[in-house]
Amino acid sequence: MVAISATDSQATGKTGIVTAKDLSGKLAILADAAKYDASCASSGSRRESRGGLGSTEGMGICHSYTPDGRCVSLLKILLTNYCVFDCQYCVNRISSDTPRARFSVNEVVRLTMDFYRRNYIEGLFLSSGIIQSSDYTMEQMLDVARTLRERESFRGYIHLKTIPGASDDLIHQAGTYADRLSVNIELPTEADLKRLAPEKKRPELEQSMNQIKVKRDEHVRDQKAGFKHAGKFVPAGQSTQMIVGATDTSDRQILDTSSHLYQTHAMRRVYYSAFSPIPHADSRLPGKSPPLVREHRLYQADWLIRFYGFDAAELTTAESANLDLQMDPKLAWALRHRDRFPVDVNLAEREMLLRVPGIGSRGVKRILQTRRHHQIRDEDLAAMGIVYKKARPFLITADRNAGPLSLDSPSLQRQFRPPQRQLHLFDDDPSADDGTSSRLEVLP
Ligand code: SF4
């Protein structure tokens, strides 16, 4: 482990540990370092390189969504992976011996424009380690966005990660150039931060989030009032990322924090990123990642909170504070509340239909439209995009009323669990199952 002091001179590669000096070398290091940020999912483009600069193989092309729902490819890089902070879960922390690199502002601008002209990307996702100070780093990132917009007339998508502790003025300026800003909450509780990232303070992070919300509200208000000077301010809103499984904090607390962020700071998205072990890690960190299915369940629960009217506290219980890895959180909730079912598909309110396993928001819409004209029968359900097998025990239709008896059956829960399989001698530890078999499972 080599300790570095990330002063500016070291960050330019004059001293310190292994550094990359040529542009493609820097790109390899700084695109790879950016992959740990889940705020836009890195997907690795497969364009052929044919030599020279511009290959997207392994160079962090990710996808994101614009405010109008278009999917865009972004160049996802760090300005630098030098950092004066020592967050224990991060490969770029000051005490890490990872190879370092730093782009100049003009290099990031050049790369973005080159990739853009070659049609590889439609925008930029830029994050950074902290060099010298929060404001110094934020100014550099702001400079990238300003140069792209003003000098290069770049109209593509820009997502900037704000630097913890950067001044309000810099964040405000960044918001006038970027489509999206994000401030990473990093860990679900203040105690987790204190333990693993003591230089980061929850109030400071939330102050930056609040600053973005207040400014965005002001701009939206001015635009609605027809003020011509209003301009744009982060039209795609703000997002954040939370690392899951670096501490033993429960899903209940994680969802509680997410709810708070959505409600208080009008967060557009909270991204969950399963902790991945890093070399020479602190002994307080777990030696392996949590099962990926946990991340998946959190996304499902998050979806239920945002679009299905669930309260975060409903999705777990005090006794069982983690989401069930074997079944989706909506089904798990329904099985815990069998007294609320079956519901009559021809009479139930929209809010209750949204809680029926197997029925998504589109299915609910179709039910509401159809029942205006005729009574819904069992055979109609499949045509409405409803997962019949899942919804059946929880519904009454015009031609079927199973009554509460089927819901009382002790076998109901078993019926929804994935089948048990025989373990083989050389199977990995089953508790380490990454759950990929169920990762494609989606709500309803
Ligand atoms: S501030 Fe960011 S880059 Fe620096 S150590 Fe912490 S998580 Fe890593």
Q: How confident is the model at residue 26 (pLDDT cuts 50, 70, 90)?
A: confident
Kindly give the distance from the C-alpha atom of residue 207 to the centroid of ligand 1, in angstroms, as a whole number: 18
Contact 177, 144 (CB under 8 A): no
The helix/strand/coil state of 274 is strand
Closest by Cα among 232, 226, 130, 131 to 172 = 232
* Ramachandran angles phi, psi of 173, nearest 5°: -60, -45
pLDDT in the model for residue 411: 77
Residue 78 alpha carbon, nearest atom of ligand 1: 3
Q: Cα separations (Å) of 294 from 385, 436, 437?
A: 26, 10, 13
Q: Cα separations (Å) of 146 from 53, 63, 77, 123, 138?
A: 24, 22, 17, 14, 12
Kindly give the distance from the C-alpha atom of residue 258 to the centroid of ligand 1, in angstroms, as a whole number: 21
> Is this model's pTM higher than 0.85 or not?
no
Residue nearest to atom 5 of ligand 1 (CA): 93
d(CA 280, CA 44): 27
DSSP 150: I
Residue 86 alpha carbon, nearest atom of ligand 1: 5
d(CA 176, CA 234): 7
Instruction: Characterize the bridge pairing of strands 180-182 and 238-244.
Output: parallel
Q: Find all residues with CB under 8 Å of 388, minimum gap 6, and list them.
A: 358, 378, 381, 382
Kindly give the distance from the C-alpha atom of residue 92 to the centroid of ligand 1, in angstroms, as a whole number: 6
Count of H-run helices and E-run strands, the chain = 17, 9
Contact 99, 18 (CB under 8 A): yes
Torsion of CA 128, 164, 95, 289, to 10 degrees: -80
| Bridge partners of residue 103, in order along the sequence | none
Average pLDDT, the chain: 84
Kindly give the distance from the C-alpha atom of residue 12 to the centroid of ligand 1, in angstroms, as a whole number: 18
Kindly give the distance from the C-alpha atom of residue 429 to the centroid of ligand 1, in angstroms, as a whole number: 32
Q: What is the mean pLDDT of residues 53-79?
A: 68
pLDDT in tens, 299-340: 999 999 999 999 999 999 999 999 999 999 999 999 999 999
DSSP 64: E
Kindly give the distance from the C-alpha atom of residue 102 to the centroid of ligand 1, in angstroms, as a whole number: 15
- Which residues surround ligand 1 with Cβ inside 6 Å? 83, 85, 87, 90, 92-93, 129-130, 197
Q: Cα separations (Å) of 284 from 245, 277, 287, 432?
A: 12, 11, 9, 19
- Ligand 1 pocket test, pick from 30, 130, 161 with the greatest ligand atom count within 8 Å of Cβ, gives 130
- Ligand 1 pocket test, pick from 30, 93, 205 with the greatest ligand atom count within 8 Å of Cβ, gives 93
pLDDT at 231 over 90: no
pLDDT in tens, 173-228: 999 999 999 999 999 999 999 999 999 999 999 999 999 999 999 988 988 888 87
Exposed, middle or buried, 425 (CB in 10 Å: 0-12/13-18/19+)?
A: exposed
pLDDT in tens, 267-303: 999 999 999 898 888 899 999 999 999 999 999 999 9
361-400: b or e for each residue (b if 16 or more CB lie within 10 Å)?
eebbebbeebbeeeebeeebbeebebbeebbbbbbbbeee
Kindly give the distance from the C-alpha atom of residue 336 to the centroid of ligand 1, in angstroms, as a whole number: 40
pLDDT at 20 over 90: no
Residue nearest to atom 1 of ligand 1 (CA): 85
pLDDT in the model for residue 178: 96
Residue nearest to atom 3 of ligand 1 (CA): 129
How many of the other CB atoms lie within 10 Å of CB of 340?
A: 14
Kindly give the distance from the C-alpha atom of residue 85 to the centroid of ligand 1, in angstroms, as a whole number: 6
Contact 118, 72 (CB under 8 A): no
Kindly give the distance from the C-alpha atom of residue 299 to the centroid of ligand 1, in angstroms, as a whole number: 24
d(CA 172, CA 183): 13
- Ligand 1 pocket test, pick from 92, 182, 185, 276 with the greatest ligand atom count within 8 Å of Cβ, gives 92
Kindly give the distance from the C-alpha atom of residue 334 to the centroid of ligand 1, in angstroms, as a whole number: 40
* Encoded tokens for 380: 């109609």
Task: Provide the CA 351 distance to its chain's centre, in angstroms.
Answer: 26
Task: For Cα atoms 426, 439, 72, give the angle at the middle one, nearest 5 degrees.
Answer: 130
Residue 128 alpha carbon, nearest atom of ligand 1: 3
- Ligand 1 pocket test, pick from 35, 85, 201 with the greatest ligand atom count within 8 Å of Cβ, gives 85
| Bridge partners of residue 402, in order along the sequence | none
d(CA 48, CA 57): 8
Residue nearest to atom 6 of ligand 1 (CA): 87
